[in-house]
Amino acid sequence: MQRRYIPAVVLFIAILVFLAHLGARMTAVPVISYAEEEKEIYLTFDDGPSTVVTGRILDTLKEEGVKGTFFVVGERIAGREDVLARIAREGHTLGVHSYTHRYGEIYASDGALLEDVRRCKALIEKTAGVTPAVYRFPGGGTKDYARQKALLEGEGFAVIAWNAVCGDEEIPHASAETLTETAVKTAKGKNRVILLLHDSAPHRATAQALPAIIARFRDMGYVFKQF
């Protein structure tokens, strides 16, 4: 062998030895794909409680062993105290959405926003016996989002937005199949999905779609989380 080739040969052998070690390590240790391990989804339900839809959603979550997060409307609790209590009793997270859900009133001033939030929080505490620590802006918030978010954080809330939707508000009269496909499509490429769903009275298709939504994300390797 010519002398000038020796460094190149040594380097080549070193690379082979390194790759062999790497191969041995990869076969010796069970390989867990990090991308798969880190995939998580939060099912978040806005605008409830309602009697039928929330009840069906809770039934499905129980059957599937999945916990969700419910951002409730204070005014809708009257007459459905048992539904609200069931959400807490079955281990789901209760969050504040709004007392009235009327944008004109809530966003009239900082004082109005805080009063709306405090009323809803107090009613949840009184009815379900838990203190909510998460909040979601009705309608997703205003152009004052950053400032109002800081205001809510000052009240002790974590403000939770969303990054995927099932389309139950966006697509009129969507079927359960459409809602399922929309959830999968809008979550595409995201390892941490916060899915927006609604459990208010008109959203029977959402309750109907939930088993398929859970199955699809489970098949894709997502772990279900709650706030």
Look at residues 155, 118, 113, 158 and name the one whose alpha carbon lies nearest to residue 138. 113
Instruction: Count CB-CB contacts under 10 A for residue 169.
Output: 18
- Give whichever of 46 and 168 is closer to Zn ion, judged by the CB atom: 46
Instruction: State the minimum distance, in angstroms, from the CB of residue 116 to Zn ion.
Output: 12
Exposed/middle/buried for 199, CB within 10 Å: 0-12, 13-18, 19+?
buried
E-assigned strands of the chain? Answer: 40-46, 69-73, 93-98, 134-135, 158-159, 164-165, 192-198, 223-225
Residue type, 28: A
Bridge partners, residue 40, by sequence: 192, 223
d(CA 171, CA 101): 20
Residue type, 19: L
- Give whichever of 63 and 170 is closer to Zn ion, judged by the CB atom: 170
Q: Which stretch binds Zn ion (CB under 5 A): 44-52, 116-124, 153-161, 182-190?
A: 44-52
Buried b / exposed e along 141-150 (16+ C-beta atoms within 10 A): beeeeeebbe
d(CA 221, CA 34): 11
Q: Which stretch binds Zn ion (CB under 5 A): 22-30, 43-51, 182-190, 218-226?
A: 43-51
Q: Judge contact between 51 and 76, C-beta under 8 A.
A: no
Does 47 engage in binding with Zn ion (CB under 5 A)? Answer: yes
- Give whichever of 44 and 127 is closer to Zn ion, judged by the CB atom: 44
Instruction: State the minimum distance, in angstroms, from the CB of residue 55 to Zn ion.
Output: 19
Q: Which stretch binds Zn ion (CB under 5 A): 38-46, 48-56, 152-160, 175-183?
A: 38-46
Instruction: State the minimum distance, in angstroms, from the CB of residue 216 to Zn ion.
Output: 24
Instruction: State the minimum distance, in angstroms, from the CB of residue 197 to Zn ion.
Output: 11
Within positions 124 to 143, which residues make up the interface with Zn ion, using CB under 5 A?
138
- Give whichever of 44 and 222 is closer to Zn ion, judged by the CB atom: 44
- Give whichever of 39 and 165 is closer to Zn ion, judged by the CB atom: 165
Instruction: State the minimum distance, in angstroms, from the CB of residue 44 to Zn ion.
Output: 11
Instruction: State the minimum distance, in angstroms, from the CB of residue 136 to Zn ion.
Output: 7
Near Zn ion by CB under 5 A: residue from 42, 46, 113, 210: 46
Q: Which stretch binds Zn ion (CB under 5 A): 4-12, 45-53, 114-122, 161-169?
A: 45-53
Sites of contact with Zn ion (CB under 5 A): 46-47, 138
